Structure formats: structure tokens, C-alpha cells
Chains A and B, each alone.
Chain A
């Protein structure tokens, strides 16, 4: 490595890198360890996204310092991941509800699951509203 960094900047980058990598690992451990699909969905979508944000900020600081001008690619990846991770998680949760993936025994309010399952797609909703039930 040829780039010489000031001490404080190097410390900041090291802390961000180790923190981000540890959070990514925590997300993957949760993916393996947690009991059912709905709890497993939490681990990667929260811990991993925060870890990626931390890693990408470290990368942004490093490349901006090393090349001397601001690099926005990393910021673009960060924004993209932060926007798409909740959407992917929402779609996966809807899929799991649709396929009736079982949840753990002690899930509270199982009737809410049924209620969310009954909710229809937007294009089908108008016909059911006109039909009095």
C-alpha cells in the first residue's frame, strides 16, 4: 500500500472497517441461528445493511483522500442498498405469508398474519370494496 494516511484518519478507517465487518458477520450468524423465517428476515436486513453503510463510508473516505477528489460511486452504492434492502425484505415477507411458511409457536397475535394474508393486491381491491360483505 503506497498511500500514507494521517494517524487519526487511519484510526477512523480501521474502526469503521472492523465495525462494519463485525456487523456483516452478526447478520449472517443471525441468518443461521434464528428459529423461523420471519425472525431470520431481521438479521440480514438490519445488521448487514448498517455494516455495509459503515464499510462504504470507510471506502468513500479512503478513496476521496487517496485520489484527492470526491468519489460518489460509494455513496451511490450506499444509497442504492439502503433503498433496496427494505423493499426486498418486504417482498420476501409477503412471499413467506403467501406460501404459509410456519412461524415459531410463541408468536403473539397469529390472527394478524391471517389478516395480512387476506390483504389483496391493489388491482383487485376495487372489486371487493364494491361488494358488501
Chain B
């Protein structure tokens, strides 16, 4: 029963990633695109987590943690750049 659930999860998350790319290409303003990128990295973490369950390995979780940290830092840096015109003042 776990394998069909994993395949369904793969399909749903891949569809979500596709929708994020559409939103990234379309988004009328820059904050829209940053929000799309933010969602894109969170969904890629979801894909890595599901892949880790399917492979029954724990190696991928380090990658997921790295993506989570770098993604948040990049979102924060982009917001700071858009508001203040500079990242480190």
C-alpha cells in the first residue's frame, strides 16, 4: 500500500512544481516571482523527502536541510534588497 501512496505523492508534488514554474514565469511583479521561488524550494524539499522514503535511505535529508536553510536566506536577502536597496548596510 505504501508504494501507490508514494507514486501519488510524487505525481502531486511534481504537478505542484510545474504550477510553481508557471507562476514564476507569469507573476506580474518581482515579489510574486520571489514568492514563487520560495514555494518552489519548499516543494523541492517535499520531493526529496518522498524520494528518501521510497529509497529507504537517510542520505538525502542533509540535502533537504541545506536547501531549507539556503532558500530562507536567499528569500530574506531578496526582500531586504527590494526594500532597502542594499543587502548588508
| A binding-site residues for B, Cβ under 8 Å | 1-3, 5, 10-11, 13-15, 17-18, 20-22, 24-25, 27-29, 31-32, 37, 40-41, 44, 48-49, 51-52, 55-56, 58-59, 62-63, 66-67, 71, 73-74, 76-77, 80-81, 84-85, 87-88, 91-92, 94-96, 98-99, 101
**Contact between B16 and A52 (Cβ–Cβ < 8 Å)?**
no
**Contact between B82 and A21 (Cβ–Cβ < 8 Å)?**
no
Q: Given contact pairs A37-B31, A95-B31, enumerate 13 new A-B contacts (beta carbons under 8 Å).
A: A1-B54, A17-B53, A25-B12, A31-B35, A31-B36, A40-B35, A59-B52, A84-B68, A87-B76, A88-B76, A92-B34, A95-B79, A99-B30
- Which B residues lie within 8 Å of A22 (CB)? 12
- Which A residues lie within 8 Å of B61 (CB)? 59, 71, 73-74, 77
- Which B residues lie within 8 Å of A29 (CB)? 16, 19
Contact with A along B62-74 (1 / 0, CB 8 A): 1011001100100
Q: Give the residue name and chain of the B residue nearest to A101 (CB).
A: B29
Point out the residue from A44, A48, A59, A95 that lies within 8 Å of B49, measured CB to CB. A59
| B binding-site residues for A, Cβ under 8 Å | 1-6, 8-10, 12-13, 15-17, 19-20, 22-23, 26, 29-32, 34-36, 38-39, 42-43, 45-46, 49-50, 52-54, 56, 58, 61-62, 64-65, 68-69, 72, 75-76, 79-80, 82-83
- Which B residues lie within 8 Å of A56 (CB)? 49
Least distance between B17 CB and chain A CB atoms (Å): 8
- Which A residues lie within 8 Å of B64 (CB)? 77
Point out the residue from A5, A44, A85, A94 that lies within 8 Å of B2, measured CB to CB. A5
Chain A contact residues: helix, strand, loop or mixed:
helix
Known A-B contacts A18-B9, A48-B43, A84-B72; the reply to A63 vs B58 at CB < 8 A is yes
